[in-house]
Structure 1
Amino acid sequence: MFGLHYKLERSAIGFVLAIVVVASIGGFIEIAPLFTIDETVEDAPDMRVYTPLEVAGRNIYIREGCYACHSQMIRTLRDEVDRYGPYSLAVESQYDHPMLWGSKRTGPDLARIGEKYSNDWHVAHLVNPRDVVPESNMPRYGWLIDTTLRTDDLGAHLAALRAVGVPYTDEMIANAPVDAVHQADPMASATGLVERYGAATNIALFDGNAERLTEMDALVAYLQVLGQLTDLPTTTQTAEVQ
């Protein structure tokens, strides 16, 4: 084995060809699955896109580095399914740019965190995690409830996501700032918001304060939609068990 390697090292052309062959094998293994992507990604007719407020919350989630301690991909292992819920499907990440699957779990996986806890619980947990989970080592994010959410650029964020394949319409992009405000105010007229994003849109007073739209509103709205964009994981995996 070492003799062959020594011979290759003495031949520049042979060594280059060997590198090309090995690199080609690795490249093929990575690229080949892309040719079957249509078979890999499940068909989810009820799949919906993130609302402008949820997009803003996702941006804050990324900005604050939440993905460094929390994954968003439940593996098919029995213990993971028992702990976190139905395993993740490829279709659930089709509108995620970038994807936030992660691999490190200093904190629990959040793929199914949506609607598991109340909005008040999330606010209390983000303001001071030890108030609800005494053993938590998560940092505090209390300033989010005092920081007004910027909305004037939400249309641009949606337009950028449309450029990479998320099916936002011109109407969605044009109404993004208003839709963000209306989603966090149950007393506002949200007819247009529901028409654009569907009856399953979660409209609530996320941070408990109706006086202004905050970054806490956005982050809680995002957390509450995780695992809720489609019912496919629950329906398909229930059928598998039966």
Structure 2
Amino acid sequence: MTSPAAVIGSTGLVGHQILATLLSLDACKTVHTISRRAPKTEPSAKLNATIEADTTKWASQFAALSPAPTAVYSALGTTRIQAGGIQNQWKIDHDLNVELAKAAHAAGAQTFIFVSSAGTRGLLGNFAPYSKMKIGVEDTIESLGFKQAIILRPGFLMGDREVAHTGGAFLGSVFRGMKTYLGQGAQDKFAQEDQVVARAAVKATLLAAEGKAPSKYWILEQSDIVRLGRDEWNA
């Protein structure tokens, strides 16, 4: 993958791992980020970081990225508590992601990779605000007609968060207990490590570049994420 890439949400749990994974690949020569603060990663000549505190300006930044990214990863997201309410969360998780997907398409990106969430298309998906946010973004990405779209739907995300989620520590201990007492497979049905999700996103992009994506709009459920991000990861 010699084409330039861009990562949105590069300071978050999964986005940070996507960025680190891309920077570690010899074949990836340039990685752009757009974020409110500098990504916490090892210094790299490959990294072109744009720091912009005003998120309303992020979409316009795509036109200025050089070389223009052909693959754009979005792991952008927040929580209702961090955002200060469901309306503010919607502005980030839905509105900003939609705006960025449209900007990436307009800037010529060929592949768009979005980290969504498991259960968004479940029985109650159309009623739960969080699921409705993800559905809206997924549908927008599909409608834009990227040459390749990749949607990841991980379960509970395991990893070290800068800001703890409500109940996150408890759930993390539950899923780690599953692994300890019932085996890795039990945990895999409900939760995935942040690095595994990131590697699955990158692995899927590499496969798509080789013409091995099963469809133009490729959805990776939890089992697919585990397979690509851990079991078959060899990059």
Name the TM-score, length of structure 1 as normaliser.
0.27
Q: Higher strand proportion, which one? A: 2
Task: Give the number of the structure whose alpha-carbon radius of gyration is greater.
Answer: 1
Q: Which one scores higher on RCO, CA 8 angstroms, separation ≥ 6?
A: 1
Name the TM-score, length of structure 2 as normaliser.
0.28
Q: Higher helix proportion, which one? A: 1
